[in-house]
Structure 1
């Protein structure tokens, strides 16, 4: 639970100078200047001898290969020399530039984490193993399953990209959990996409490089992954967005770079216009109404550019991927819908396409690839099953995207699609009937209506067998091609407004109003959290105040008390209760302080102590006295070890620093038994808020070893102080680093003239001991829950930690109508903290918590 305040616009933001430190702050400019010195540059080059060696070999061998085309093409033998040369051979100037850039990025990062010897061993030794395995698999494919080729015939050795993938996967074994997962995800996505969609000569090697690289990393001393690591919701969104991007980009890869031999090369085949011009006649191979005369002579697609219309739905998927990355629930639903539409379309193609048609198409398009009929049919089946699997994965992890779309935006999106579809179909009927003489055969009204839904599909996706007439004249072809093009352009525009619009999320105008009220008035220490996504707002009609709440089941759970210039108005509580009762909700005032508790006393409701907040006065607090010895010890140790503090904000830190912060956070989440919680508990999702401040701890090597985030507390229209929100440290960080950071935070707030500093609330914990005989059965039940959660979240340990600073403790309360409702309210609170938790998930969570408790007890 973190006390907070709203991102203020009108109130002057506190200055962001570096907190008083024992050494001068080391900013990015300072670090760059230091790196630029000749000695540092020499040391840098020495640390990357392996990278420079590989880059030099790529340049020399690539230059020779380009200068002598065809002179160094390897054969199909197991020649070790040729296999080693293939690892650094590139025959195209543009490809050489791309490969060289990738080599510098991959090898520099890999050499930094696993050293020069391991880098060279992974690149050349691992690359050689990949080459040998590739030749073995190629021989198996050629001799055992020749009728179902999976890729174009491979060359004698693995290409540079496969060697770089081997290096990346080997280096991932030496990386932090978050980067280990991301490197492997990128590698798998890259290799699998190329193998399934493009299937060029070297793509089999890229696929083989994945297990070879991971195995090499383990053999060289890397870390074995401990099962499936728990991810934060932010990381889950990254993974889901990456999955969506694969299915958006894959068909384009199959079309532009595909060899036609991959399992999903069928997508490249579907990018061809099914209409042909042969012998001066417009026809469709496989169509009963407008067949192409055999044998096919002078075959040519009627409109080769028509295949690019099929890329427009992929643009919709890319936009949806961006929305998923930003946590937009509507974008996730849109990605699910697009994948399911792909399933339906591929199923229809499978049902309608005949093998004779495929054979004729393979003969006619010999310039593209000799498509094997059975491989194409298998590709269609796989092409239908994989989007279905992607849709199921998106549905399974839908809780990672929690930001709902505004109802008005949803209605406008649906209305736009409906109007666009209706308008397209009406224009299609009008155009076809108007220019009916331009079609072959003449389209009757029943035939037009029977095929009318096909007018919404990109023309290249139309199965030839479903075409009962084809366009011949320019006017007819304009009706045929331009209407679906216009429809999908409108769909893309509507998708951008639906997903990307700044006011597209639910409650965006109310949130803006709530932010203005908080900036102009006051709030409790939780008030800034009300501006986080997921909250709804009750805005008082006659006064300047608001209450944030979340509806779970039949309960409306508030996040703290009222905020705004008129937050003390005694009529607010009664008005909010009436508002809830009109909608059939039971109001629950959660995490309210003593002042709000007193204002709610007239209701006569049940009161339950749910947390304790620890507060300091930065103007008077000093790290003196025996009980604050730990703070002084931590500060002194930080000075000896060169650990410094940096008071900053997310927008001011470098990309490298952001990556380090996320690494620390992901390692923290992966170590937890339960999912990352929210509501009154912050995460890295809120760090980008411009009102949030960061206090970073950097070691002597300038690496971030711990961080804390601080949210503003408003008093009378100004920021009066800050409240601690997120507090996380790197494994192996200096003991006492958190005590050091909080001590520095006090100094910073004192220097900025702040009068309020909160160490936030500790849920289900209290600093004073109370005899069991003086406690109710409900309070004893909360103790049991606290003990159950302790191994996962350490609320009690957190409360004990805060005692080191000798703060003032004040209770936070839950005020509800009837104690008999407490079990149901407890379920609603759990759903506030862990959105998307199902009954099955709750049972599994309880079992995991019990196991954690038993393990610690043992």
Structure 2
């Protein structure tokens, strides 16, 4: 039975799992020894937060002159150290400690403890000096706030930023780009929009760290980018769009912000306080609109005001996977934001605080942030439009449009009905036309309606609640519908309609022991342009799971792997190679991919097989006993079975599934449906009375058109079948296949059960994924008995061939794990999933109890 196995790279047997659990305190000590700077820095920040009162929420800014200020007002000589170790608030303390315990250990592993400490010190002190110099230069400029030029700095994240960016120079190509893009996107966002002095100092520290890292890596070998330019472009553009969305939100949260782009936030505020203040002295036609926003303010209108920004974050999510729908959404939203800014000028909705002193500078910042940024993003999207060609199926688009249209109509009707039933909520009784007009306006963020007039609005009760929340409810439906479109992909059968025939022809040219799995229903087939290579795969939740080894010559292996990855990326899928052999690992590692062991395939060599000697006694005895009792083995195909024999196979299989009370697994585990293939042979165990006792199925593999071996797949026996019937069938299969000239026979593997390996002395670091697979192996053993099946196959003294899971991006592992589970249980209902989870956790509890008894 070809199934996934999971031993993990660390050889996770039950004994190994027990040693890992017992060694957790020792593992923590080992982690502490590997990253002493990170733990020490976290301890220093915690100590200073407790000592200064920051941990209790007390104001620390400037206390005792600890914070570094401008060069014109120098601080004490020790301020450089305290500025980098003392947080100025409880929030700053929590975030700094969290960064010190998460990202700083990663940097320390890359740099080493000594270079980490140097990077933190040099980048931190340089940031303080450069930042203080800039503050001094800006002092006195009318366009710059005096608070900003004299504010002191207390922020441990400055030193952490420098160390992380320095470490990025020594990271792998994938993580080097990711660290830099994410770090500068986040740091730049806070600097440009929130604009507090600490944000600018952190950005300066990161730039210093980048230079330090380049010095550290000047002798390191060049690491080329491994990912395709298309995917690279998508990630960068998605990050840019996300920053333009999250930046104004950060400015709003920080009270409006002081960064050069913070004025963009005024377009997404619930109301314009400056305009409200001006209306007290000078009435304009915008005053009615602002007064209505002020009176009807609340959580609902506040959320509605930032809907454009939420839609931009949704756009960034889809752009990352090349979605055409996300590109269209981004174009519409950015065009609307830029258009709003232009209309604000036309309707006189732009108000500056200080028109007599620095108004031109303020107007320039407003124009750049409110018009230039969305216009620039819009131009960028248009220029790179060909990078976002992943279209959703038409049925998914039609479903989304139908849902959104129905939601719009329903919300309008609810608004009209409620406001009509509660007319006393209005001070001025609205007409039916007023309500209809206002119902449509409830879906538009308030800033987009400046200068468009104002209709009667409710002041209390259900009318006010519906007035505030009906638009939010509609946009929530829109967002959920868009996420559904993002996840929708064309059915694999629609991608390459004639690929199954080509795959079968390449299979006969030469294939691996597991490649026949690619012929099963549910798999699609990528075919190379020259028809010389193919990969079987299935798409689950946006993950393209390639099944077994690709069909290609060894000389073409690297090219085939890259071409399939590009094919998947081009459609917005995450490519993964599942149950691939070690022959392909060098090419995968050259691509920058990661691999983890997911099991061991068991292969019997048939050349000198005799079943003699003491080592074969556990197989020879059941074979001889079964033959004495009149058991016979029948080599046949499904098409040649009698109706009675086929019915017995179905009966045995159904009983096997029913005994477990859980869904039957699929993907790489065949069922009755996979038996009906002309290339698959069956070996049946029939007793002296002609009753079927057990059945096995065998999938062929070819070399130059000739069958050279067989792989065990389907394996079932009656509940009351005599002991040893499976040993009888496999032994008979081996002897029969040897007589027919087969070179080898694969017994496949058992899910989540791996070959035992020696346990190393002392605590050992076990990868997170391997630890999870080991826990799952222990937990599911009482349910499916995978480890028992694997031990059964070891009776036949097979060779072990490691199977691997290969993936490009560690961040995608949660999605990959979910896709693998869905692939194995594609038809399970929520109730069946719940039953499976209960059984798994019950098995885990039982395994822990058994371990304690031992």
Band of TM-score, shorter chain = 0.5 to 0.7
The 1:334–1:440 alpha-carbon spacing in structure 2 relative to 1, beyond 3 Å, is farther
Question: Contact 1:282/1:471 (CA < 8 Å) preserved in 2?
Answer: no
Shift of 1:138: 2.5
Query: Which residues of structure 1 form unaligned runs of 5+?
Result: 1-10, 364-370, 538-543, 564-590, 594-610, 616-664, 699-703, 724-747, 760-858
Which of 51, 55, 72 is the aligned partner of 2:64?
72
Question: Contact 2:194/2:251 (CA < 8 Å) preserved in 1?
Answer: yes
Question: Contact 2:191/2:199 (CA < 8 Å) preserved in 1?
Answer: yes
Shift of 1:412: 0.5
Q: Separation in 1 of the partners of 2:747 and 2:282?
A: 74
What residue is the counterpart of 1:86 in the other structure? 83
What residue is the counterpart of 1:507 in the other structure? 491
Shift of 1:488: 0.5
The 1:35–1:558 alpha-carbon spacing in structure 2 relative to 1, beyond 3 Å, is same
Q: Separation in 2 of the partners of 1:301 and 1:356?
A: 22
The 1:209–1:406 alpha-carbon spacing in structure 2 relative to 1, beyond 3 Å, is same
Which of 251, 255, 267 is the aligned partner of 2:252?
255
The 1:613–1:94 alpha-carbon spacing in structure 2 relative to 1, beyond 3 Å, is closer
Which of 384, 388, 391 is the aligned partner of 2:378?
388
Shift of 1:413: 0.8
Shift of 1:688: 6.5
User: Normalised by the size of structure 1, how large is the TM-score?
Assistant: 0.54
Which of 332, 335, 338 is the aligned partner of 1:340?
332
Query: Which residues of structure 2 form unaligned runs of 5+?
Result: 355-360, 538-548, 587-591, 602-667, 671-679, 681-697, 700-711, 714-745, 750-791, 804-854
Q: Separation in 2 of the partners of 1:679 and 1:721?
A: 31
Which of 450, 453, 468 is the aligned partner of 1:464?
450
Q: Separation in 2 of the partners of 1:216 and 1:752?
A: 58
The 1:95–1:681 alpha-carbon spacing in structure 2 relative to 1, beyond 3 Å, is closer
What residue is the counterpart of 1:209 in the other structure? 205
Shift of 1:171: 1.2
What is the DSSP-based 3-state SS (H/G/I as helix, E as strand, rest coil) of the residue aligned with 2:197?
Answer: coil
Q: Separation in 1 of the partners of 2:156 and 2:580?
A: 45
What residue is the counterpart of 2:808 in the other structure? none
What residue is the counterpart of 2:174 in the other structure? 178
The 1:174–1:12 alpha-carbon spacing in structure 2 relative to 1, beyond 3 Å, is closer
Q: Separation in 2 of the partners of 1:395 and 1:265?
A: 28
Question: Contact 2:251/2:265 (CA < 8 Å) preserved in 1?
Answer: yes
Q: Separation in 2 of the partners of 1:25 and 1:339?
A: 54
* TM alignment of 1:29-428, pairs within 5 A: 36-37=25-26, 44-66=31-53, 69-70=59-60, 71-72=63-64, 74=67, 75-76=69-70, 77-79=73-75, 80-144=77-141, 146-147=142-143, 152-153=148-149, 155-157=151-153, 159-221=155-217, 229-232=225-228, 239=236, 241-257=238-254, 259-274=256-271, 288=285, 291=288, 302-305=296-299, 306-319=301-314, 321-323=316-318, 327=321, 329-330=322-323, 332-353=324-345, 357-359=349-351, 362=353, 372=362, 374-388=364-378, 391-392=381-382, 395=385, 397-398=387-388, 402=390, 404-424=391-411
The 1:253–1:14 alpha-carbon spacing in structure 2 relative to 1, beyond 3 Å, is closer
Q: Separation in 2 of the partners of 1:755 and 1:511?
A: 38
What is the DSSP-based 3-state SS (H/G/I as helix, E as strand, rest coil) of the residue aligned with 2:451?
Answer: helix
Q: Separation in 1 of the partners of 2:348 and 2:364?
A: 11
Question: Contact 2:315/2:329 (CA < 8 Å) preserved in 1?
Answer: no
Question: Contact 2:425/2:463 (CA < 8 Å) preserved in 1?
Answer: yes
Task: Give RMSD over aligned pairs.
Answer: 6.2
Matched, 1:482 2:469: yes
Deviations along 1:416-470, one digit per CA (max 9) or x if unpaired, are: 22333455567667888998997798888999898886443223x3342223435
What is the DSSP-based 3-state SS (H/G/I as helix, E as strand, rest coil) of the residue aligned with 1:465?
Answer: coil
What is the DSSP-based 3-state SS (H/G/I as helix, E as strand, rest coil) of the residue aligned with 1:471?
Answer: coil
What is the DSSP-based 3-state SS (H/G/I as helix, E as strand, rest coil) of the residue aligned with 1:687?
Answer: strand
Q: Separation in 2 of the partners of 1:683 and 1:391?
A: 17
Deviations along 1:82-127, one digit per CA (max 9) or x if unpaired, are: 2321111113234312211211223322222212222222212211
Deviations along 1:115-166, one digit per CA (max 9) or x if unpaired, are: 222222221221111011112222333445x426699446344621222111
Deviations along 1:306-354, one digit per CA (max 9) or x if unpaired, are: 11223445445555555555x4x54x52254135313323322332246
Q: Separation in 1 of the partners of 2:583 and 2:527?
A: 34
Question: Contact 1:545/1:562 (CA < 8 Å) preserved in 2?
Answer: no
Q: Separation in 2 of the partners of 1:191 and 1:592?
A: 43
Deviations along 1:707-757, one digit per CA (max 9) or x if unpaired, are: 59999799467646889xxxxxxxxxxxxxxxxxxxxxxxx9999899999
The 1:496–1:706 alpha-carbon spacing in structure 2 relative to 1, beyond 3 Å, is closer
Shift of 1:491: 0.7
Question: Contact 2:264/2:366 (CA < 8 Å) preserved in 1?
Answer: no
Deviations along 1:768-808, one digit per CA (max 9) or x if unpaired, are: xxxxxxxxxxxxxxxxxxxxxxxxxxxxxxxxxxxxxxxxx
Q: Separation in 1 of the partners of 2:168 and 2:37?
A: 17
Q: Separation in 1 of the partners of 2:495 and 2:410?
A: 36
Q: Separation in 2 of the partners of 1:354 and 1:393?
A: 29
Q: Separation in 1 of the partners of 2:222 and 2:22?
A: 40
Q: Separation in 2 of the partners of 1:311 and 1:275?
A: 14
What residue is the counterpart of 1:633 in the other structure? none
Deviations along 1:589-638, one digit per CA (max 9) or x if unpaired, are: xx999xxxxxxxxxxxxxxxxx64799xxxxxxxxxxxxxxxxxxxxxxx
User: Normalised by the size of structure 2, how large is the TM-score?
Assistant: 0.54
